[in-house]
């Protein structure tokens, strides 16, 4: 996607967003969603395994499937708009959600090969609060480099969803919020311009 400033993704920002895209999340309900009887850490391990499989396939469609299955897409998408959310017509939301998923999936498929993941191991989880449950993990790249990712898991009905991921001190959703809101601001303040851009 060239419009939402693909050129802005460079250096550390590209690494962070690429890793976060692999982590995400940046995700609607599906038959693959875990029952809340499963621990958040066990659920997140399964999600991580699916993301690694998508990375190895290099398929945008595979990334999109994992994102749609496991990310808390509506919450992530609406939050990313900030104050512009009130101006987004409800009739535009489905297209916006789909466009956001495809944007993240496209970026992950493009950047993923640069940071091949060898394994992801869940190392612990917090107690559940109103904010959800935080699951800590250790991601090891094929190069041997390792980094920590903290996931925020929330309940949606009887299922868990990924709400956010923090990597190297950056929250995936905060990065997405800045990117989307800046694009809207630079294009007349109408969130529909973002929806159209995401779906080109």
How do residues 117-139 score in pLDDT, each as one tens digit?
999 999 999 999 999 999 999 99
- The more confidently predicted of residues 99 and 23 is 99
pLDDT of residue 200: 87
pLDDT at 11 over 60: no
Q: What is the pTM of this model?
A: 0.79
**Mean model confidence pLDDT for the chain:** 85
Listed residue (4, 180, 171) closest to 78, CA to CA: 180
pLDDT of residue 37: 63
Q: What is the mean pLDDT of residues 27-52?
A: 70
Percentage of the chain surpassing pLDDT 90?
72
pLDDT of residue 90: 96
- The more confidently predicted of residues 43 and 33 is 43
Q: How far apart are CA 126 and CA 121, in angstroms?
A: 16
Q: Please state the CATH superfamily assignment of the domain spanning residues 8-198 in this structure.
A: Tgt2/MlaC (3.10.450.710)
Listed residue (119, 148, 122) closest to 20, CA to CA: 148
pLDDT of residue 145: 94
Give yes or no for a contact between 68 and 28, defined as CB atoms under 8 angstroms apart: yes
pLDDT of residue 2: 47
pLDDT of residue 10: 42
170: confidence class by pLDDT, cuts 50, 70, 90: confident
pLDDT of residue 22: 52
Vertex 90: Cα angle to 89 and 94 (nearest 5): 110
pLDDT at 7 over 50: no
Rounded to a whole number, what is the distance in angstroms from the first to the last CA of the chain?
Answer: 8
């Amino acid at each position: 996607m060239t419009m939402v400033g693909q050129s802005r993704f460079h250096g550390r920002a590209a690494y962070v967003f690429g890793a976060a895209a692999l982590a995400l999340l940046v995700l609607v309900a599906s038959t693959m969603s875990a029952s809340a009887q499963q621990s958040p850490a066990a659920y997140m391990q399964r999600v991580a395994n699916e993301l690694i499989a998508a990375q190895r396939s290099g398929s945008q469609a595979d990334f999109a499937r994992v994102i749609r299955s496991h990310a808390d897409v509506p919450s992530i998408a609406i939050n990313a708009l900030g104050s512009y959310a009130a101006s987004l017509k409800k009739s535009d939301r489905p297209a916006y959600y789909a466009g956001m998923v495809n944007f993240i999936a496209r970026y992950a498929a493009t950047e993923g090969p640069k940071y091949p993941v060898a394994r992801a191991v869940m190392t612990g989880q917090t107690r559940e609060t109103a904010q959800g449950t935080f699951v800590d993990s250790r991601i090891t790249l094929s190069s041997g480099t390792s980094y920590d990712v903290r996931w925020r898991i929330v309940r949606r009905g009887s299922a868990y969803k990924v709400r956010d991921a923090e990597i190297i001190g950056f929250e995936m959703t905060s990065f997405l919020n800045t990117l989307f809101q800046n694009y809207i601001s630079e294009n007349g303040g109408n969130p529909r311009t973002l929806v159209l851009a995401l779906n080109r």
